[in-house]
Structure 1
């Protein structure tokens, strides 16, 4: 997988975390400590989940090698459609200062489920993990940190549109994988 594809994938995966980070930034009292904590959790889980997905997918890879491009296309497409669908829902708006460790863990897992599916596709396509997980984790960390500060400045203006862009990017990558392997 080339660097541009990995970067686009990372941005697409980070959109859920970015969107949630914007909602966290809506709290006036959300400071650098909160922003860094949110970014570390979201970035860490986005890097961990593809590893877990890859490990699960490796067990199935020998059975699915001929179907790998289709599986990647379907998984990325479903995640992309899910992100677009969820962009039309109204997110919960808890204040940053009452964000507990339990809530942060829940949000971190919830925003990184799609990264697990991507890890499964990495296993099916026999893609090395080190570079993608580092890039995915860093991109998510940075976008989550920026998201908190954007939320402080502009609130909900762009929130649902960001998830739509992320969903479209994931669907496009799924098509790209499918076309590269069919042609």
Structure 2
């Protein structure tokens, strides 16, 4: 695998996380760069580890992850997205109150769960890479770095979108997460 292929793979693996990060950014009260970098680091580390896990699984059980990755991602992202939509609909506050009630940061657990859900496909890629001659550490680091950059930018883009969307930003973020999960499921079901 050459450098161009690795870069393309890294960018492709980070697109789901980028979309989820936009949703995360819209759900926050004016996220700062520090929160965007924190979110990017959490997603990037998880996205960098999952191909390694997949590669190890690929050495032992080829189809275990690949057959279910899209369902796992769909359920996790759909559940998180629906929870965000529910939170956005449960109160009928004014736009100012809704913005003031938004958290300034997400919990580590919520970010890690979302990061894991968006990285299931990277795990499946790791399984496939176990069967070709590739430096898995290099590829995993490239995927993790691309995800870090894309998620950091996604959170800040979500900040802008949150200001435009107003009090229903969390609903938009939830819909984005659920849509990412549905897109992963659709992509895998139509490719089969």
Change (3 A) 1:138 1:96: farther
- What value does the CA root-mean-square deviation take over the aligned residues? 3.8
Structure 1 residues not aligned, in runs of 5+: 65-70, 175-183
Q: Is the 8 A contact 1:34 1:96 kept in 2?
A: no
For the residues of structure 1 that align with 2:19 and 2:153, how far apart are their CA atoms? 10
1:149 aligns with 2:150: no
CA 40–147 in structure 1, closer or farther in 2 if over 3 Å, else same: same
User: 1:30 touches 1:96 (CA, 8 Å); kept in 2?
Assistant: no
Q: Which residue, out of 120, 130, 142, partners 2:137?
A: 130
Q: What are the within-5 Å matches in structure 2 for residues 6-155 of structure 1?
A: 6-26=6-26, 27-60=28-61, 75=66, 92=84, 95-97=102-104, 99-155=106-162
Q: Structure 2 unaligned runs (5+)?
A: 88-101, 163-171
User: Aligned partners of 1:163, 1:3: CA distance in 2, in Å?
Assistant: 27
Separation in structure 1 between the aligned mates of residue 158 and residue 11 of structure 2, nearest angstrom? 18
Q: Determine if contact 2:21/2:152 at 8 Å carries over to the other structure.
A: yes
What is the alpha-carbon distance in structure 2 between the residues aligned to residue 124 and residue 110 of structure 1?
24
Q: Is the 2:18–2:147 Cα contact (8 Å) retained in structure 1? A: yes
Distance 1:115 1:48 in 2: 9
For 2:92, the equivalent position in structure 1 comes to none
- Corresponding residue of 1:5: 5
TM-score in terms of structure 2 length: 0.64
Would the aligned equivalents of 1:39 and 1:145 in 2 still touch at CA under 8 Å? yes
Task: Indicate the SS of the match to 1:127.
Answer: coil
Higher deviation after alignment, 134-143 or 117-126? 117-126
Q: Bigger CA drift: 148-157 or 48-57?
A: 148-157
DSSP-derived class of the 1:125 partner: coil
Could you tell me which residue of structure 2 aligns to residue 178 of structure 1? none
Preserved contact between residue 44 and residue 147 of structure 2 (Cα < 8 Å): yes
Report the secondary structure of 1:114's partner residue: helix
